[in-house]
Amino acid sequence: MAGRESGGMAAALRCAGRIGILATVAVNLAWIATYIRRRYFGGGNRSDNNGGGGEVEPSRGKPPVTSDSIVNLDHGDPTMYEEFWRGTGDSASIFIPGWQTMSYFSDLGGICWFLEPGFEREVRRLHRLVGNAVVDGYHVLVGTGSTQLFQAVLYALSPASDGTPMNVVSPAPYYSSYPSVTNYLNSALYRWAGDANTFDGDTCIELVCSPNNPDGGLRKPVIKSKSSKPVYDFAYYWPQYTPITEAAAHDIMLFTVSKCTGHAGTRLGTVVCLRGDACRWALVKDTKVAQKMIKFIELNTIGVSKDSQLRAAKIIGAICNGYEPVPSSGKTSQLFHFAKEKMAARWARLRAAVAASDIFTLPYELSGYCSFSNETVTANPPFAWLRYNKDDIEDLEAFLLEKKIITRGGTRFGVDARAVRVSMVDTDQAFNVFINRLATMK
């Protein structure tokens, strides 16, 4: 290693010599130091980001929206949160030296060997702060994005006791990924069985998404049979979207960093890049189920990015710190307040535009007492479930596409094509263009 470094330095010096830089003194020594730092240690300024050893910048996501461009509100891409995190300085930044997080293992003494203890600590702290889930007496597991944890749950709870594939259901409109993620491997362990409201049987996994994607409804299981296993998808059970009405204490509850903090892009990446993997966690009461889920993640990806877990721990810690009474944490460092205000303002504008249009409808506003904010609050769902209420258009997604607005049509959620789902958590630019276009539709 040392030989390679000094060889590299010699090469750098030869290179510098060739172009005559070593001819003079101090200025050139400084230049060499900078050159070596940039070439061999990844330092240097941002304009050097050309693959030549300079600092690696993250990609920028979707292109910016202008008043006449296509606006893509198909995904719930939570770019709305960027403004908040830009305003928090370094409170959520981390630096990981090259020698750290190298081992596969995180916690050999715990139930989940790939779970970073610091991440687990902050996750538990956050749930205690918000009061949305009971964590005492529960395991906390980590996975890579919803797809992995969701499949880990299916794996752990399948097949049915007679060996046949477990049926997986959810009441329509259901999250559009449930059918595709359940079926894409054509597994003999489980299969998508559609709308829970029309399911003719009693052995199943019921996915209970509350608040629900796409329509924001607050849900309880609809299958009452003893052999149904409800799995709660609490991606949106956070105070910016819905009143926190109880500390949920179900057997299996899925949460995601994506929709809580806005860091959807924190998915598995490379060791040199601080942006890694979207950390999600499941709170699981039954140890055997937890162990099977851990096995799935072990077989699937041999654990979950430590870098991402460390970053997520720092981010979640910053959120919790913003609610500590002591530090001078002004309003800007209180994530849930920022996001709730923003969502409420957007919903007010959307409801006004829809009322003025006379051709669309939205689900009724829900409200309830929120134990987190100690007041009665109105829900601000992460998606607008927009319905066309006249007879001349059958396919609302196609109609909006003509207006250069990309949404997701009702058939993807198990219902008719006169409804679409529209993301409410995108950038201000995208939301403004959407509202302005909607206002012109009569």
Give me the residues that bind ligand PMP (CB under 6 A), please: 76, 145-146, 175, 209, 213, 233, 235, 256, 258, 264, 278, 280
For residue 274 the two structure tokens come to: 């601080």
The nearest distance, CB 146 to ligand PMP, in angstroms, is 3
If the CB atoms of residues 74 and 120 are measured against ligand PMP, the closer one turns out to be 74
**Per-residue three-class SS string for 100-127:** CCCCCCCCCCCCCCCCCHHHHHHHHHHH
Which residues partner with 387 through β-bridges? 361, 419
Least Å from the CB of residue 145 to ligand PMP: 4
254 phi and psi, to 5 degrees? -100, 135
CB of 39 to ligand PMP, least distance (A): 37
Backbone torsions φ then ψ of 42, nearest 5 degrees? 75, 10
Q: Of the two residues 76 and 322, which places its CB atom closer to ligand PMP in the complex?
A: 76
Check whether the bond before 327 is cis (ω within 30° of 0).
Answer: no
Least distance in angstroms from the C-beta of 142 to ligand PMP: 12
Tally of CB atoms within 10 A around 363 = 17
Helices (H), 223-305: 257-261, 287-301
| Cα–Cα distance for residue pair 215/206, rounded to 1 Å | 18
Which DSSP symbol is given to 388? Answer: E
CB-nearer residue toward ligand PMP: 39 or 263: 263
Cα separation of 267 and 355, whole Å? 39
**Nearest distance in Å: CB 423, ligand PMP:** 9
CA atoms of 377 and 239, how far apart (whole Å): 9
CA distance 313 to 169: 33
- Cβ closer to ligand PMP: 119 or 175? 175
Comparison of 256 and 309: residue with beta carbon closer to ligand PMP = 256
* Residue with Cβ nearer ligand PMP (146 or 305): 146
Is 441:95 a contact under the CB 8 Å cutoff?
A: no
188 vs 183: CA distance, rounded Å: 10
Identity of the residue, 280 or 387, whose beta carbon is nearer to ligand PMP in the bound complex:
280
Closest approach, Cβ 437 to ligand PMP, in A, equals 23
Nearer to ligand PMP, 138 or 175 (CB): 175
Which residue reads 């990981």 in tokens?
A: 96
Taking the complex as a whole, the smallest distance from the CB of residue 21 to ligand PMP amounts, in Å, to 49
Nearest-CB residue for ligand PMP:
146
